Structure 1
């Protein structure tokens, strides 16, 4: 454990359980919001309209064009709606795209937010916002983007397709994995990280086979919540830097990219993060942790190679250069040759083990 340490609790309110979406009107009233904007992606339009109906007169408008990586031009388009309808609060329904747009609007307006996650992405628990402009994704940390209320309704995840559940869940695991070796980690976060990884690893294989299993869905959402808290409490390292570069520069899908990169980033850092490795072994139930995560993805039939997401082999060297140009703090120094091997292996879909990134 890291002693001494600093732990700073975040001022959000969380509602967790089955059927919790019904509490949304009361939460809106508690926040004093009477002209809400409901945000979603195009795929979630029908569900967002149901949320708007649940809010009744408290919903002033809806916006269904949230996109991955929070493009600035989309935020500017949504800001027109905010001004036109005199919006006084935001409801984000969905995953990182909808919640990211809500955060981007809050950054510019300081409007209160209610996040209703339907995936395991975790953005709702953090003061982090990532935005993409001119092909480059940048992040910043500010309390202005932290939602005031988060409603975790397990029932809303029952329709999340099994493959998306797996990629979203492994994305969530990545938050906890990096929290375990973050430079500003602490024992409280380490406890949540281990429990979060364990709950996801317990729930996800069942979801892959039986997507309507409510106990597995509860475990996965609970684990995702814990992992998201970890992301909001600590700094990010190599895994997230790689995913930010790949997503912002090559427009690769968010959850799938995290799923592919995590086993490789974990294998790379394992020699310099013994305590973290021990916690992850306990959470996953044994050795070979990078391979176990890879096998979870492959067994569920989700992509394990960046080339399957549309990345060109010629982009490998550019990715190396972009990561090295503004690297995040990492437990193991970034060695260009090994970093290139990591990205090349992730591109090809090679299963990593403890020796893949040995010197």
Structure 2
């Protein structure tokens, strides 16, 4: 980071605390929502229905078709549901898939979004949108897609399985790791990144041992919020580019892909980013950051999460195609990565374990 910097605060209202789901009707009223369509995945239909009941007359119905990577077909179906319900806003209940769908509706129909996260994805804190069409995921930035209000209720994460909690948390960690060496970083982002990494690194082992640990749940959700805010304030790098290409090309689970890839990207990039490396060594209390991150990934694997891309069904013969797609439209990175380095990283992530 140079002596000068630019930091642009995002226009976002955050309500954090156990039981804060109860404020949803007041938040919807504050945003002027008279007919809010509640969005969810099929698996979160029950919670979405409870949220609709809580909203009462302000609820216009439930659309439970959210999917990973926001396929354009899903967005079209949601747009039809918005039109049929005459909705003037959306309440996105769930993780990155549902928040991503809310962002697509904000982008295409200028609808305000109120987010109620139930995982540690962090998407609700960013102006980044993504759409997948013909196995290719396109992303962009637009402040218009950001939720107007985010309600963080740690109680909603209490039933999140341990393996999902850890992989989702490592996904959040990736946001902060990349923010520490982003070209548009700042002291504000660095402070949020360090606190977010510390909170998650301390909380995830607790949740692995006891998913009902309430203090761990609060810390993990707070850390995810801060890490997501880091991603929203900086330019994405190689890690996110890789995960977007892999996810769009093979329809891979988002959090698990991030968890697998992160230690390998860190091993490749941190030698060229000494300030980020020093910050992560300090906050993780380690002399080897990639090994510390790999240890968290191993924790997820112990809980049943996949340990390598091969376990997600990616064939080794597919890796050159992934590398070509990444290199065709590269993201910012601490140093220029060539095809040989990228293929080495992908083969290591394919096998699993440390680089």
Interval containing the TM-score (normalised by the shorter chain): over 0.9
2:256 aligned with 1:256: yes
Partner of 2:313: 310
Partner of 1:321: 324
Partner of 1:124: 124
- Aligned CA-pair RMSD: 0.8
**Shift in Å, 1:31:** 1.0
The whole-number CA distance in structure 1 between the counterparts of 2:230 and 2:240 is 13
Q: How does 1:259-274 map to 2 (within 5 A)?
A: 259-274=259-274
Partner of 2:92: 92
The whole-number CA distance in structure 1 between the counterparts of 2:138 and 2:64 is 23
Question: What is the TM-score normalised by the length of structure 1?
Answer: 0.97
Q: How does 1:162-201 map to 2 (within 5 A)?
A: 162-201=162-201
Find the residue that maps to 1:219 and give its secondary structure: helix
The whole-number CA distance in structure 2 between the counterparts of 1:204 and 1:112 is 32
Instruction: Give yes or no for contact 2:36–2:90 (8 Å, CA) kept in 1.
Output: yes
Q: How does 1:45-56 map to 2 (within 5 A)?
A: 45-56=45-56
Structure 1 unmatched runs, 5+ = 353-359
Instruction: Give yes or no for contact 1:238–1:330 (8 Å, CA) kept in 2.
Output: yes
Find the residue that maps to 2:60 and give its secondary structure: strand
Partner of 1:356: none
One of 339, 342, 348 as aligned partner of 1:339: 342
Find the residue that maps to 2:132 and give its secondary structure: strand
Structure 2 unmatched runs, 5+ = none
The whole-number CA distance in structure 1 between the counterparts of 2:277 and 2:25 is 43
**Shift in Å, 1:296:** 1.5
**Shift in Å, 1:299:** 2.5
Partner of 1:295: 295
Instruction: Give yes or no for contact 1:297–1:303 (8 Å, CA) kept in 2.
Output: no
User: Is the deviation greater in 283-292 or in 117-126?
Assistant: 283-292
**Shift in Å, 1:297:** 1.9
The whole-number CA distance in structure 2 between the counterparts of 1:200 and 1:2 is 28
**Shift in Å, 1:61:** 1.2
Q: Deviations over 1:71-105 (max 9, x none)?
A: 00100011011111110110000000000001101
The whole-number CA distance in structure 1 between the counterparts of 2:95 and 2:353 is 28
Q: Deviations over 1:215-238 (max 9, x none)?
A: 001110010000000000000111
Find the residue that maps to 1:56 and give its secondary structure: helix
Find the residue that maps to 2:91 and give its secondary structure: strand
Partner of 1:210: 210
Partner of 2:157: 157
The whole-number CA distance in structure 2 between the counterparts of 1:292 and 1:304 is 15
Q: How does 1:212-291 map to 2 (within 5 A)?
A: 212-291=212-291
Instruction: Give yes or no for contact 2:298–2:353 (8 Å, CA) kept in 1.
Output: no
Find the residue that maps to 2:171 and give its secondary structure: helix
Instruction: Give yes or no for contact 1:2–1:185 (8 Å, CA) kept in 2.
Output: no
One of 308, 322, 330 as aligned partner of 2:333: 330
Q: 4+ residue runs of structure 1 moved beyond 4 angstroms? A: none
